[in-house]
Structure 1
Amino acid sequence: MADMTIADMIRLFVDDTGQVNVRAFDGSQFGPEDAPLHLVIRNSRAIYYLIDHPNDLGLARAYLQGDIASSELVPGDPYEVLKRLVGLKGSLHRPDPIGLAKALATVAKHGVKHPVAPSIEGPSRLRRITEGLLPHTKAGDAATVSYHYDQSNEFYRLFLGPSMTYTCAVFNTPDDTLEEAEERKLNLVLDKLGVKAGDRLLDIGCGWGSMEVLAARRGIHVLGVTLSKKQVEWAQDWIKREGLEELAEVRLMDYRDVPEDGFDAICSVGMMEHVGFKHYPSYFKEILGKLKPNGTLLNHQITRTQSTEGKTAGQFIDRYIFPGGELASPGEIETVIQDTGFEIVNQENLRQHYALTLHHWNKNLQDHWDDAVAMIGEPKARLWGLYIAGSALNFELNNIQIHQFLCVKPGKTGTDTYPLRPWWVRAAKR
């Protein structure tokens, strides 16, 4: 029985619709040369990666190692390639058993191999558990945050820009600059919360301190907490440079360990992805206890589109980006918030805004590609480009969304203290 070529193996799973051309290391070719998308499989390691993990993890490993490439690929931004690959979904089919057996026999003839994962890959869920880093415990959360955020602050600045704001911006038009849109988002959060000069604000998962600086400029007393040492260093230095030490403070602290209470408002912007769905009730209960009566909460988080989808992230995201990260649907989140005792005043979906934000980040990464590679190495720079581009595409396809929930803690006589109509709309237009 003759060996199957790589092109033959591809035909087992994909119809040739003329949309992709694949050239393989064995000299075989799938699809026409004038196809709009061209891929190159450079070596057998890519095949073994896909056999070990026939999903997003296998593909990511091959791409990060340079085993799979494309002539259409912009350094640091695989968005167009990913978009075209998604367009091939309709041409996928189940392989016939005889052909699949022949393909496996061909691979086995060359030896069963399990190539080593890229050195930048994080540990599996099982390994994290055996090492005592249980998901969504204080130790587990600290390790997760450190893994993702304690990169070089200068690297983050390359793609985040001077605002150093690592969450969805808010655009009035697609032509807004990233800096304009990020400042608008921060102002929108403060305006929704209704905080004013002299009020006390707690910022859970404060990042590099952009919220603290802007809030303090408005005369608000703000405490930010994060589990990232690098972020604390950056934020404290930024606050000092601005001369805002009397109003703004950032601590290396788990939100559960904040001793103060009686806050006028609390914001959690882009932090809930780390909490874990089973811990939502205790999370919102903790926040409820730290607010004064009629205090406000702005919870801003990425969501699943539907509640029927699983909560855990795929293997690529779990190993490389957010270990243990979980997403829930807006309806599930709203139910937990209300069951905790909050009244929800407003819910807003900013899905389109996050797609625009991510495209700005990837453009920044492209513009500073050589600097990024010099700082963190090409495999890790590729990783960030892949993550950002893939996220942008998933927001555009409505596979994921991002929601802001504005909530009020009831007082003894209810929650009739906020205005009858949204009070932030006019302010948010700036």
Structure 2
Amino acid sequence: MTATMNPTQVLIADALTAVTPAGLPFRFTAYDGSSAGPEDSAVHMHLANERGLSYILTAPGDLGLVRAYVAGDLEIEGSHPANPYELMRLMLRQLSFQRPTPAEALRIVRGLGWNHLKPPPPPPQEHLPRWRRTFEGLRHSKTRDRAAIQHHYDVSNTFYEWVLGPSMAYTCAVYPSADATLEQAQAEKFDLVARKLDLRPGMRLLDVGCGWGGMVRHAAREYGVQALGVTLSSEQAAWARAAIERDGLGGLAEVRFGDYRDIAEREFDAISSIGLTEHIGVRNYPAYFGFLLDRLKPGGRLLNHSITRHDNRLRPTGAFIDRYIFPDGELTGSGRIITEMQDTGFEVRHSENLREHYAKTLAAWSDNLQAHWDEAVEEVGLATAKVWGLYLAACRVGFERNEVQLHQVLAVKLHPDSTSDFPLRPTWLS
């Protein structure tokens, strides 16, 4: 093979090993016949064609790899596409890239072929880059937020039923024991929120970003609370309304399709925000928490449940998550969230990190997707199903590695005399 090679030609596997000096933790092969990595690895990645190489060269990092994988140009053996956890674990824990020098990069690109620097069209599942979303309005305007939410949540209610299970809860569960089922853990999550909010019959609860109405229905059914939920996803709202009707909770529970900023009612006894903060933008925290404070009566509690970073440094969201999963999503640490809540006027009373619980939740969702893989592919298509498998597995590794966390922060709107209506010790732990 080398006898007929152009002297300047570079084999794909050689190019890969040049930027991974510590070696590959999995087997890699390419369409040019080259290979690298341990031959006995249980995980095998194969680059099938030139388009895949163009994806990788024109979008270095996770975006190019994802494009090639979603398009079918990068194949993975040794793990199910619904749950490529082992590959993600190896890549995120053991694989390290080293940026080549300009001269080395030039040599590699020249050897692989200049024609591969023409980017192929991205897969249709990919959202526009952040800077090109201006046609949807300014970032975190009502119009653009609605478009971002619908990109992710209006995939298919049937698809979400297969992945999330009967609870239709798309946030971190709380496992009361290591062997608890996903449904038991999601019920415990809603009940923990209710206990932290000290819900009692006759109270009024506002649940912003209510999803499929799980918290609204739990509060109404288990605590006799008058619960109002709001979501920007029309699909979620339709499903939630049907579930409320099915459960006979119409007299207590309501879900609206709309923006939480359009809620006119005030004097709520409690507010729950479960998985919304990630979508509103860090710069909008003052307005967000100010709005929620304004909707509470004195003594009313807020429970903010959201994904957080392990530190409070601002950094851009990765291209894969921003383009394929949560357009315009943004994370920060619990310290920034607590600071913004305090500066708005809330008194923060309790914070809890549920990082390990989210890793277990994601593993359960991956298992559900794998169990319903054929139906999921038929419902949303192979490419979208593969995106979800990759996303769930990568996020699971992220929580296991403490790159991301999940914090519940409990706060109260004080009375004018600074009383809080809190007992001397927490009651939600008993």
Shift of 1:397: 0.3
Cα distance change, pair 145–106 in 1 and its aligned pair in 2 (3 A): same
Partner of 2:51 in structure 1?
Answer: 45
Cα distance change, pair 227–416 in 1 and its aligned pair in 2 (3 A): closer
Distance 1:67 1:122 in 2: 19
Cα distance change, pair 298–18 in 1 and its aligned pair in 2 (3 A): closer
Distance 2:22 2:237 in 1: 52
- Is 2:311 aligned against 1:303? no
- AA matched with 1:223: L
User: Which residue, out of 29, 43, 62, partners 1:56?
Assistant: 62
Distance 1:145 1:293 in 2: 32
Deviations 1:312-341 (A, max 9, x none): 311111111111111111111111100111
The worse-fitting range, judged by mean Cα deviation, of 10-19 and 318-327 is 10-19
Partner of 2:4 in structure 1?
Answer: none
Check conservation: 1:19, 1:31, Cα contact below 8 A.
yes
Check conservation: 1:21, 1:32, Cα contact below 8 A.
yes
Shift of 1:111: 5.5
Check conservation: 1:260, 1:290, Cα contact below 8 A.
yes
Check conservation: 1:19, 1:36, Cα contact below 8 A.
no
User: Which residue, out of 406, 411, 426, partners 1:407?
Assistant: 411
Secondary structure, counterpart of 1:318 in structure 2: helix
Distance 2:379 2:423 in 1: 49
Distance 1:36 1:243 in 2: 51
Check conservation: 1:294, 1:410, Cα contact below 8 A.
yes
Secondary structure, counterpart of 2:271 in structure 1: strand
Distance 1:351 1:57 in 2: 26
Cα-Cα RMSD: 1.4
Shift of 1:20: 2.5
Shift of 1:106: 2.3
Distance 2:141 2:396 in 1: 30
Check conservation: 2:23, 2:95, Cα contact below 8 A.
no
- TM-score of the superposed pair, with normalisation by structure 2: 0.95
Shift of 1:266: 0.4
Shift of 1:96: 4.9
- Is 2:27 aligned against 1:14? no
Distance 1:161 1:39 in 2: 31
Check conservation: 1:409, 1:415, Cα contact below 8 A.
no
Check conservation: 2:83, 2:393, Cα contact below 8 A.
yes
Distance 1:329 1:353 in 2: 17
Partner of 1:376 in structure 2?
Answer: 380
Partner of 1:66 in structure 2?
Answer: 72
Shift of 1:77: 0.8
Distance 2:408 2:159 in 1: 28
The worse-fitting range, judged by mean Cα deviation, of 394-403 and 2-11 is 2-11
Distance 1:121 1:350 in 2: 30
The worse-fitting range, judged by mean Cα deviation, of 7-16 and 321-330 is 7-16
Secondary structure, counterpart of 1:331 in structure 2: helix
Consecutive unaligned residues in structure 2, runs of 5 or more: 1-6
The worse-fitting range, judged by mean Cα deviation, of 209-218 and 191-200 is 209-218
Partner of 1:121 in structure 2?
Answer: 126
Shift of 1:98: 4.2
Check conservation: 2:43, 2:86, Cα contact below 8 A.
no
Cα distance change, pair 109–194 in 1 and its aligned pair in 2 (3 A): closer
User: Which residue, out of 337, 341, 347, partners 1:343?
Assistant: 347
Cα distance change, pair 270–7 in 1 and its aligned pair in 2 (3 A): same
Secondary structure, counterpart of 2:211 in structure 1: coil
- Is 2:226 aligned against 1:221? yes
- TM-score of the superposed pair, with normalisation by structure 1: 0.95
Q: How many residues align?
A: 423
Check conservation: 1:295, 1:409, Cα contact below 8 A.
yes
Secondary structure, counterpart of 1:336 in structure 2: helix
- AA matched with 1:378: L
- Is 2:331 aligned against 1:327? yes
Distance 1:194 1:111 in 2: 60
Distance 1:87 1:412 in 2: 51
Distance 2:178 2:80 in 1: 22
Cα distance change, pair 381–367 in 1 and its aligned pair in 2 (3 A): same
Distance 2:303 2:328 in 1: 23
- Is 2:281 aligned against 1:279? no
Distance 1:177 1:204 in 2: 26
- Is 2:397 aligned against 1:393? yes
Check conservation: 1:160, 1:166, Cα contact below 8 A.
yes
User: Which residue, out of 231, 234, 238, partners 2:239?
Assistant: 234
Secondary structure, counterpart of 1:86 in structure 2: helix
Cα distance change, pair 145–111 in 1 and its aligned pair in 2 (3 A): closer
Secondary structure, counterpart of 1:87 in structure 2: helix
Shift of 1:87: 3.3
- AA matched with 1:89: L
Secondary structure, counterpart of 2:249 in structure 1: coil
Check conservation: 2:130, 2:328, Cα contact below 8 A.
yes
Partner of 1:156 in structure 2?
Answer: 160
Deviations 1:4-52 (A, max 9, x none): 1112211211236473321110011113412353211111112211111
% same residue: 46
- Is 2:216 aligned against 1:212? yes
Deviations 1:168-221 (A, max 9, x none): 000022210000000000000010001100000000011111111111112100
The worse-fitting range, judged by mean Cα deviation, of 98-107 and 414-423 is 98-107
- Is 2:384 aligned against 1:361? no
Shift of 1:304: 1.1
Partner of 2:205 in structure 1?
Answer: 201
Cα distance change, pair 405–112 in 1 and its aligned pair in 2 (3 A): closer
- AA matched with 2:414: P
Check conservation: 2:57, 2:116, Cα contact below 8 A.
no
Check conservation: 2:313, 2:332, Cα contact below 8 A.
no
Check conservation: 1:298, 1:407, Cα contact below 8 A.
yes
- Is 2:242 aligned against 1:245? no
- Is 2:298 aligned against 1:293? yes
Secondary structure, counterpart of 1:73 in structure 2: coil
Secondary structure, counterpart of 2:113 in structure 1: helix
- AA matched with 2:257: L
User: Which residue, out of 131, 135, 138, partners 2:139?
Assistant: 135
